[in-house]
Structure 1
Amino acid sequence: MEVPTWVWALTIAGIGALLLFDYIFHVRKAHVPTLKEAAVWSAAYVGFALLFGVGVLWFGGVDAGGEYFAGYITEKALSVDNLFVFLIIISSFRVPREDQQKVLLFGIVFSLIARTGFIFLGAALINTFAWVFYVFGLILLLTAGNMLAPDKDDDSGTADNIIIRLARKVFHTTDYYDGDKLFTVVDGKRALTPMLLVMVAIGGTDILFALDSIPAIFGLTQNVYIVFTATAFSLLGLRQLYFLIDGLLDRLIYLSYGLAAILGFIGVKLFLHALHENNVPFINDGEPVNVVEVSTGLSLSVIVGILIVTVVASLASPKGRAQNAIRNARRHAEAYLDSEYTRDPKERERIFDRLLRERDQILALGPKYRRMVRDEAALMDLLERAASSHEAAVGRGEAAPSERKLT
């Protein structure tokens, strides 16, 4: 599918306009998005992506359309997995709820810029060296194996990397936020706020994500326009999706297995394609190998099928429900007790209401799943302190009384 320059220009301008619209009308004024707002705009961005795919299907043909949808679905699934890490980073830096949108939008813009660079670099390598398909396939197979490796400590995630440590040593930094400002003044000296540091952390993480996602989509299509647009539309709406499924991320306990299967499948597909285009001297004397190549239709069917099975199995799993309740109860209790987390009374009420439901779910767990609570006494103490804080807020008139008690 040949794409003229003016179509590229219109596409880039359209994506830029969507990001600018997102910033002006949703992010510039710090606020906590409601569930309705997140749901409406998540659906809108998915709708934009699907309409664009229909356009690719209409003007580019069935093959191009199938490649776009396969690439978009794969990149969207990988972006949901990335939200787990975003959650860890945002929690580690204790980003106020009202300012999380700005952090996420920065991450999306940085990711789009970084991945665009990787896309054109990957395309140049593919056009020059056919053996790059072997490298991309190996990267995906190693990534799939890493996803299947047992996690020694599910709660050990940290956003403290070498860039952050270096920034704190070289520059004057603060431990507190000044609204959504990147810099503030302390004792007459200009200082970096944690808002800038968390953006650096997310930006650095995005580069690592690109090392997995770009080879994956090049395994589905080598058309640079389709690779770019599928990647861009998978990132647009990621901010809204974060707030829409926040609290449900831990419920997707089999997502890593599904993504590992998808990446492994695409890795094998890349190896088959590499053999078909082979010119490596020590493989078949540098001659192409007559192997079966996986069609775009089959790729799309396998990817969609794996994701459906993964999501349904995760949502139906009692272990997933238990894990979700335990982790969210701990996270929401800590957020409620953190005076810097949010100043929005409605958001505090939302957190406390979630605590009530999660407390009930934990108490209803059978012995098998209660053992998943590593330190039940500490967790219950945390919930009690959150309850006491809420009662004190009610006494001061800063919160509405609840019909139910947490303890």
Structure 2
Amino acid sequence: MEEEMTENNHSITKFQLFFILIQSQIGVGLLSLPNVVGKTAKGDGWISTLIAGVAVQIMLVIYWLLLKRFPNLIYTEITQKILGRFVGKMLNLFIYMNFILVGGLAAILFIKIINLWLLPLTPGWMISLLILIPCIYLTISDLRVMARFFVLATSLILLLFFTSFLSWFTPKEIQYILPIGGSGLKNILMGSKNSLLSMLGFEGLLFIFPFIIQNKKGVLKTVSMANISITLFYTYFFFLTIISFSTDQLVQMREPVINLLRGISYKMIDRIDLMFLSIWIVPMSTSVIAYLFFASKSMNVEKKNYTKVVLMNGFIIFLITLIPHDDAIITQFNKYVSYLNYGIVFIIPTLLLILSFLFNKHERSESA
């Protein structure tokens, strides 16, 4: 009975899955996306985000095909089933490193934004503790509690969306996106690569799929709807910022989305950007929570040791946040993490799917 209750506590619905993927993907990356993508794709950055959305959708289909063959296993268990225990465990070490480093990078960027915009005199290690303590607490909680929190946190994303409507009263120049395609195919594709990195988080499906309690036939539709929502959301904000600022201005701003709100002022309400950022702390935290969860799950520990693993991983992320927040160091760190990400999120799942067909590996055959 106790095991059954524990299993129920770690089960989620497809409705909750939708919001987990939304919250895993949206966070710090959205605020700087127009700057990062605009450096290469310029006014065609909105096309880049759409292309990135298509790439994510292709990967979700690959994930779905792989998970259908192993419906009760998570990513790091599938690697061992297909590649064997030794090779699988070696690969799982890189998978774990990827998620812990991405979680650390998300926390570093989170701290840097808080330091720059809200608390310039507060030491970074103090902000890191204030961020990580609640993140660790929520990650230790069962998956269902996390899912409910993510559902509630989505209301703050909607708040940003509706707040952005206020910026439409400021001057806009549609000519900044013209001529469409003028940046060239190469630059648009380079921009889509940068957009893709900001959309990471969808790989969480590889760890959450076994815990879905409803009929899994509708899961692909659910994750596809989440991806469409994220893609349109990112495209909308890039389009809004590019017609609000020139391309030259856009590449000089660290967080163009915050600058977009900074220009809005009313008699009774001033500095909407700071008010928004104070609220946006919650959606930024969900990215850290998600990657802390993925990293902890990737270690394949027993349930009784899960809390210790989360605490250990939380401490490791804290140590990563102590890295000097120099722009050059963060850029280099981001570069290496990105390379690892491409392998873990795109290449390895694709190879696992191909090998599962070649060697006729699937869960039923293993148990037969």
* Higher relative contact order, structure no. (Cα contacts within 8 Å, ≥ 6 residues apart): 2
TM over 0.5: no
* TM-score class normalised by the smaller sequence: 0.3 to 0.5
Flag the structure with larger Rg: 1
**The structure with more helix, counted as a fraction of residues:** 2
